[in-house]
Chain A
């Protein structure tokens, strides 16, 4: 069976979560001093809260910083299932990145770990947070307000001077690796009375605010990411800017950089720009016919 598996050509890579390293340099275009801030916080073990609207580059930023902050690490064992695992040579510069997208059913035990039945009884399995703490990774909790309230119990001891993770079920406490850093993200746009970050939690982080980049930078990003021409990228950035003007006038959220890039990619695949913007931006943003029509008029003014 093993042989058969080896013969199959694998088209995917599979890593243990703490071994997932950002290997190639991700593209990230700094808008302000966020890189310096993040590095400083990392050196000083200060947890970081990233605020910003959807698709403005928070996750990409964390990836980039994980790559950038990488430094010599001690041995990390190779995972058993072959192909995808990376060989990490000693002295190579890497910081693993563990990303957890939070959702409303995410419980503390999903993060810490749980006992599972084994042939000979039960076996403890570490959750992703425990693994990140042990491996000294950057732990990135995306959309943290979505997670259940009991997760804050875990976040608190990890984010103050103690840097410990109490594992209730095993009755143990894990001291975080020196390289460990907790980073959470949060979208103030969704903010409602029900889902807000508690102040006791908030005040354990420094906050870096993100917003959609200014037009020139956004153009650069779109062009880089989508491979369309500079002119097209500029038009897309212009469109983004115009659409965001409508944020308080009917649109719940403006077009994210990500959507603009999607449109750019469609364009570079040969889809006519107006159509690309319609499917990637207009229809994605709203279902209201009048608003759609207005956005399409803006699109048709900008693109030929």
Chain B
């Protein structure tokens, strides 16, 4: 006892206190003496006396002091120790109970608390003490729970929490105490969200402190529903709402998280954006919004949500009451808006189905595109809502919401696309001027000659005039054709004056003086022919299309209100929409109407072709153009039934024309006053019909493809042609027309220059949406770089040579990683190896009792022989055969080395339940081991670490069965820099090099999966194996610059990856995707289609699952004998 020096006086002092103090002192003297020097022990002992003598009951604290000292002194240096002791002394001064609690907790807390924090910690407890009995209990309780808190929380958070409790204690000690207990249980389980949560709780104190406790109770369960990355934002939102005095924060917490939990993952951030915006305008609208969210999202998609939300937002700004009602879905507006949105159908969703549908019907590689696309190309189509076709693509409006349910809206799409495809299927664009019509006699040629003759005459007259003028003026400047051209419209077909003869339809339409009328007639008659054809060919669709027709009819203008010419065209439209009875016809022109109806009926037969339409147009034009375009009095109209107007007859027609002609001549002498002819309103569902443009485009494409002697069309010629055409309705003022005409012409030339569909991969068109599209094809200059195309789903075509893949070999690292991995997973690795080895014998086993084989199976032969002797029919299966089917597998593993694989795996979650412990003893051991490892090594693990470990296990297993395999990693940044890392090349042998490389697999940049997959395909393609497998291990959706941003690009990446996988399959490679992204189901489904994929529920199972999956995948393919 070296330190006995101070003992006597101290003991004397202590003897004044209850004897238990002295006992405690003596007991601890030994161990403390061992830790500190004699003088220090003296100080220690004295401090105890000082504690004991602070107040009447402080001797209890002294006992505790001495009792814990031996434990505490192991962790603290003497100065810190004394600091600690003095903290106790101060506490004892105020309340011995506090000091006792302080000392008691010290044992557990000192190992985890930095010495300099001890005074602050003591201070936290002290601050809770307000001199009352209740407060001292609370403070003592704080000391009691603090070891637990300090162990798992940063000290700063403990301080915040303590101040929270203190603030609560002003309101109610009971609540504060309960929260303290709850906090101890709840807070350690939280991650990054703790801080915002505490801040939110803090904010609650001022407004509704009772909520704090409920929130604490709710929060662990509630936050499970929210994406980890979003919890912080969510809680901040809560704080904000709490600060503005919103009641029911706990309700917000539970409802809000539940709502978010139902939102498709990945969209939570978006929803929180919306909430933030709402909170800025009217915080009280946020909870109703979140509460409604679930039911809203069952009816509409997240992308439609915006429309609904924005509407509510506007209401909110005008009138908060109605805005909140809107978000509660307690207003009619909200309800009906949801109704419309939920029943509307977006083209994108059904595009795939419609594309195949149109292809089936037309037999051509038709594409379905958005009408916006067509308008954007600026080649003459201007209406974004009308369906149309340009001969190789069908354009449909982006959204249909005519009806209150999706089914009906889809049938509308179907009716419309059937009509557009009808143009292709029934040859609207195949009009040839010289082709025979089937229902009419040829009148085109005669008329053309007549007109040409007349025009030549006019021309000659003009020339003569010009000559005379020149003679008079004495000039010898030439007056060319072109100068007179525009007014004189077309001249002789061969003359270069009019460009319209470039297309057959142009040549036909150029004959008419009133081009607009002729074109309108051609459109309505051709549509009539098509609708009839469709009705006959596709009776299944007739119900839907009749419905559309009936609805269209209801919206047509009244015939009686129109001037005669227009009324007659409208009459034809009515008839083309299958309305034949009760049609108003002007008494005076009843005969003409009947004749028109007869002409129209000629087209209502399956044999009618587009040339018939032309002939019909010609005849209808001849009739209508001879009528005056004047409005008739109401009593001049008669209801007529034109269902069966009788047969068309050329003679009767001629008679009628003659009579009308006579009338007209007579009339022209009399009054003038015809209104100028206006085109009828378009028929919605039939969309835009532009035969001349289509023929023009086709012709231009063909010509540019041929490079023939045929004189190529210049831009000027094209402009002239477009000017003459009646198909272009230009809204622009006269001055702009020439400008826009030039743009059109240029665009059209560009369009035509693009290769015709289905030839080579084109470049796509239209302004592209992301910056990555800048620039074009790439070139490779360095060795070990490869070029790949990329699939652009918008253009439905490949972008040629779009990505550069750079192949690099991974650096070599430490071989120990490989060995450690095997060691750590020893039982698992053995298990896997056993499983793999089982595959082998299957392939070389003898099969007995066969009808045919290598040799006789003696057992079976003898049996058969005996049977024969016994006159029993023997079994003829008496051969054996060795199954020589060698396992012939080549496999490529593609590991995701993107930056996101650096993410730590949350180990806390892994302990959630023990229920899924496997039943199988072997697996159980594996499972147990894995768990223990997880618990022992508390330093965190990353996804990539698991990938690496899995690779090690897999390599070992693969070596045991001798499959050909390659292991590669991929990452990169941007399309010109897709990195492809070789860990083991497929043709490379296995050795230490490979083992070392595994160590160096590290998270890098982004993931452009498509290109990596294509390169892997190249690798596999050169392998001569029976079964080829490509195994993709990733941690999330494909991402890269210009590859994955929200919206279209995200889809772009998924589509490209899908296409790459399809390519793999076309090359008889079996792709399989394994992802550890729990949210993987949504995009993997579209990415992999019917190809195999798996979403790993529990990331820890990766090392186990990967080899097993591989085994199953290959074994299944090998059951054939």
Contact = CB atoms under 8 A, between A and B. Distances in A.
Partners in one complex: yes
Contacts of B541: 300-301
Interface in A134-179: none
B358 to A, nearest CB: 9
B412 to A, nearest CB: 13
B539 A302 contact: yes
B6 interface: no
Interface in B1067-1096: 1068, 1089-1090
Interface string B856-887: 00000100110011010010101000000000
A290 B353 contact: yes
A245 B361 contact: yes
A235 B539 CA distance: 9
Interface string B82-112: 0000000000000000000000000000000
A295 interface: yes
Interface stretch (A3-11, A78-86, A116-124, A203-211): A116-124
A297 interface: yes
Given A246-B359, A297-B353, A118 B868 contact: yes
A287 to B, nearest CB: 7
B427 interface: no
A290 to B, nearest CB: 5
A192 B355 CA distance: 29
Contacts of B361: 242, 245, 298, 301
B414 A119 contact: no
Given A117-B864, A274-B540, A287-B1090, A297 B414 contact: yes
B309 interface: no
A89 interface: no
A192 B871 CA distance: 49
A301 B352 contact: no
Interface in B359-385: 359-365
Contact of B538 (A249, A290, A295, A301): A301
Given A117-B868, A238-B537, A274-B540, A301 B418 contact: yes
B797 to A, nearest CB: 14
A16 interface: no
Interface string A221-245: 0000000000000010010011101
B414 A301 contact: yes
B876 A116 contact: yes
A214 B539 CA distance: 21
Contacts of A90: none
Contacts of B871: 119
Contact of B1089 (A119, A288, A294, A295): A288
Contacts of A298: 357, 360-361
A127 to B, nearest CB: 12
B538 A302 contact: yes
B360 A290 contact: no
Contact of A249 (B365, B861, B876): B365
A197 interface: no
Nearest to A288: B1090
B852 interface: yes
A109 interface: yes
B274 interface: no
B359 A249 contact: yes
A298 B414 CA distance: 10
Interface string B907-946: 0000000000000000000000000000000000000000
A120 to B, nearest CB: 9
B630 interface: no
B540 A303 contact: yes
A304 B876 contact: no
A164 to B, nearest CB: 24
Contact of B865 (A107, A117, A235, A295): A117
Contacts of A290: 352-353, 356
A293 interface: yes
Contacts, number: 83
B392 interface: no
A304 B1090 CA distance: 31
A242 B360 contact: yes
From B365, B539, B542, B865, name the one whose CB has the most chain A CB atoms within 10 angstroms: B539
A117 B879 CA distance: 12
Interface in A18-59: none
A102 interface: no
A300 B540 contact: yes
A297 B1090 CA distance: 21
Most A CB contacts (10 A, CB to CB) among B353, B355, B864, B1090 go to: B353
A243 B352 CA distance: 15
Contacts of A107: 852
Contact of A119 (B542, B869, B876): B869
A231 to B, nearest CB: 9
A193 to B, nearest CB: 9
Contacts of A235: 539
Contact of A245 (B363, B414, B537, B878): B363
A112 B215 CA distance: 85
Given A301-B414, A301-B538, A303-B540, A119 B356 contact: no
A124 B1047 CA distance: 74
Contacts of B352: 290, 294
B356 A249 contact: yes
A302 B540 contact: yes
Contacts of A256: none
Interface centre among B359, B542, B543, B1090 (most CB of A within 10 A): B359
Contacts of A238: 537
Interface string A93-120: 0000000000000010110001011110
Contact of A299 (B537, B540, B865, B1090): B540
A207 to B, nearest CB: 26
Contact of A246 (B356, B543, B869, B1068): B356
| B356, B878, B1089 interface centre (most CB from chain A within 10 Å) | B356
Contacts of A110: 852
Given A119-B869, A290-B353, A294-B357, A303 B1089 contact: no
A270 interface: no
Contact of B353 (A114, A294, A299, A302): A294
A202 B422 CA distance: 43
Nearest to B410: A297
A294 B360 contact: yes
B796 to A, nearest CB: 11
Contacts of A302: 537-540
A304 B365 contact: no
A192 B1066 CA distance: 11
Nearest to A249: B359
B540 A304 contact: yes
Interface in A250-304: 250, 274, 287-288, 290-291, 293-295, 297-304
Interface string B312-335: 000000000000000000000000
A298 B356 CA distance: 9
A250 B1065 CA distance: 13
Interface string B539-573: 11111000000000000000000000000000000
A206 B225 CA distance: 70
Contacts of B414: 297, 301
A297 B357 CA distance: 7
Contact of A293 (B353, B362, B538, B868): B353
A33 B541 CA distance: 38
B869 A245 contact: no
Interface of B: 352-357, 359-365, 414, 418, 537-543, 852, 861, 864-865, 868-869, 871, 874, 876, 878, 1068, 1089-1090
Given A300-B541, A301-B357, 5 more contacts: A107-B852, A238-B537, A242-B360, A290-B356, A291-B356
12 contacts: A117-B861, A242-B360, A245-B362, A246-B356, A249-B356, A294-B357, A295-B360, A297-B357, A301-B357, A301-B418, A301-B540, A303-B539
A-B interface, 8 closest residue pairs, ranked by CB to CB distance from nearest:
A294-B356, A245-B363, A301-B538, A242-B360, A301-B541, A301-B540, A297-B357, A300-B540
